[in-house]
Amino acid sequence: MPETKVALIGIGNCASALIQGLQYYGISEDENLTGLRNPILGNLTPKDIKVVAAFDIDERKIGKDLAEAIFAKPNNAPKVTEVPKMGVTVQKGPLLDGIGKLAQSVVQVSKAKDIDVAKALRAAGAEMVINLLPSGAGKASDSYAEQALEAKCGFVNATPHFIASDAKWARKFAEAGLPLVGDDLIDQVGSTALHKTLLRLLSENGVKIVETYQLDVGGGTESLDTMDRTRDAKRTIKTESVASTLPYKTEVVAGSTDYVDFLQNKRDSYFWISGTYFCNAPMKIDLKFSTVDAPNAGSVLFDVMRAMKLALNKKRKGAIEAICAYGFKRPPQMLTLEASEEAFKKFIAQNM
């Protein structure tokens, strides 16, 4: 199958982890593929993914080869491998609402002229656009979605801004004959997935959940933007996602609570679960869960991009609900973990 040609919007920590992952898992045929949920998906491996275009607004990244730009400040994702020059130059995209007030202290906005994004996408031969903009960049996300439509590219919305779950956008991509997926990329070992798994396990064992919360504290630019502009939106998305696990309504709160600079690209999550079981006996769970944030996106994005390649080959159009439910916290239709897994497997099998 031909290469999966992607364009990246926002060369931050997630892009850094993704590019490093492509190098890490693509060195040789015998490379250890531990850490990937699906080393092979629809006959596609990570080696079949090729980044052909990249866009950002930071002066320290514009005009640099992508292999160099992913390590430029303010990025602080851990360096796990050397990345040779890729022959892809980071281009200046439109700023619009791409950075919030708090992030202005760490981002150096380039004064270079904005590139014609659609023209650049066509010139690079991009098939799909991966939106990795920071939380709160709604206008910028909409702008890139429009440019993807003009360039006839599929669109992957990793941000919490509603695009795939917005009927207007889904209709636009359907009318253009292009696939669309989102919104708000789920983590490989994220706090939301862990929280949902714990609640499902307890519920299936007869425990009645009385109240539960999940509070996230992180460093890095994404956490800063979340606290500045999308704390309430992210809390709504996460709370709805967690609550959907239980077959009944109860007290649920899930979301980001603070930014801690010295955590860098790390994230700490705190869980509280209170419930009752046999003869109304009480039980409580109090946990702390720590991860490095950026790598959490890699495995899921690998799966989403390869699934999108299958969708493009089969000329699927509009919001692809099976991919949305599998890879995102706020899909157009919320499914249980089991149902989303089954729908995704069925989609892959039917579109190979």
254-285 pLDDT, tens digit each: 988 788 888 888 889 999 999 999 999 999 99
**Confidence class for position 104, pLDDT limits 50, 70, 90:** confident
Calpha distance 319→324 (Å, rounded):
8
DSSP state of 328: B
Say yes or no: 182 and 81 in one domain: yes
Which of 293, 321, 341 terminates a domain? The answer is 293
Question: Average pLDDT in the 124-149 region?
Answer: 95
Are residues 12 and 152 both part of a single domain? Answer: yes
| The predicted structure's pLDDT at residue 223 | 76
pLDDT for position 105:
79
Show the DSSP H helices in 125-260 as ranges: 138-150, 167-176, 191-204, 220-225, 231-243
161 in the same domain as 112: yes
Q: Give the up-direction half-sphere exposure of residue 186: CA atoms within 13 A in the CB hemisphere.
A: 26
Domain shared by 315 and 173, yes or no: yes
Query: Omega of the bond prior to 183 within 30 degrees of 0, cis?
Result: yes
pLDDT the model gives residue 30: 53
Q: Are residues 278 and 179 in the same domain?
A: no
Indicate if 102 and 239 belong to the same structural domain. Answer: no
Question: Does pLDDT of 230 surpass 70?
Answer: no
Average pLDDT over residues 278-307: 95
Per-residue pLDDT of 10-45, as tens digits, reads: 999 999 999 999 999 986 555 567 889 999 999 999
Same domain, 111 and 255: no
229 and 136 Cβ atoms separated by less than 8 Å: yes
Which residues contact residue 327 at a Cβ distance below 8 angstroms, ignoring those fewer than 6 apart? 181, 185, 186, 300, 301, 303, 304, 307
Q: Which of 12-21, 55-64, 218-227, 333-342 is least confident?
A: 218-227
Q: What pLDDT is recorded for position 29?
A: 55
Confidence check: pLDDT of 129 > 90: yes
Q: Are residues 300 and 271 in the same domain?
A: no
Q: What is the pLDDT of residue 26?
A: 80
Residue 241 — pLDDT band, cuts 50, 70, 90? confident
Q: Round to whole Å and give the CA distance between 181 and 172.
A: 13
Where residue 336 falls among pLDDT bands split at 50, 70, 90? confident
22 lies in the same domain as 128: yes
Token code pair at residue 310: 């299958």
pLDDT value for 79: 94
Same domain, 62 and 176: yes
The range of the structural domain enclosing residue 322 comes to 4-186+296-351
- Model pTM score: 0.88
Can you give the CATH number for the domain in which 318 is found? Answer: 3.40.50.720
Instruction: Please tell me whether residues 157 and 168 are part of one structural domain.
Output: yes
171 pLDDT higher than 80: yes
Confidence of residue 220 (pLDDT cuts 50, 70, 90): confident
Query: At which of 270, 293, 316 does a domain end?
Result: 293
Domains held by the chain: number:
2
Q: What is the pLDDT of residue 97?
A: 86
Q: Does residue 200 share a domain with residue 176?
A: no
229 pLDDT band, cuts 50/70/90, is low
Whole-angstrom Cα distance, residue 346 to residue 325?
A: 13
What is the model's pLDDT at position 103?
A: 74
User: Where does the pLDDT of residue 228 fall: very low under 50, low under 70, confident under 90, or very high at 90 and above?
Assistant: low
Of 254, 275, 293, the residue that ends a domain is 293
User: Rounded mean pLDDT of the chain?
Assistant: 92
> Over 70: is that where the pLDDT of 9 sits?
yes
Q: What is the CATH number of the domain that holds 256?
A: 3.30.360.10
Rounded to an integer, what distance in angstroms lies between the CA atom of residue 82 and that of residue 13?
16
Q: Would the pLDDT of 234 be above 80?
A: no
Say how far residue 74 (Cα) sits from the centre of its chain.
19
- Give pLDDT, residue 179: 98
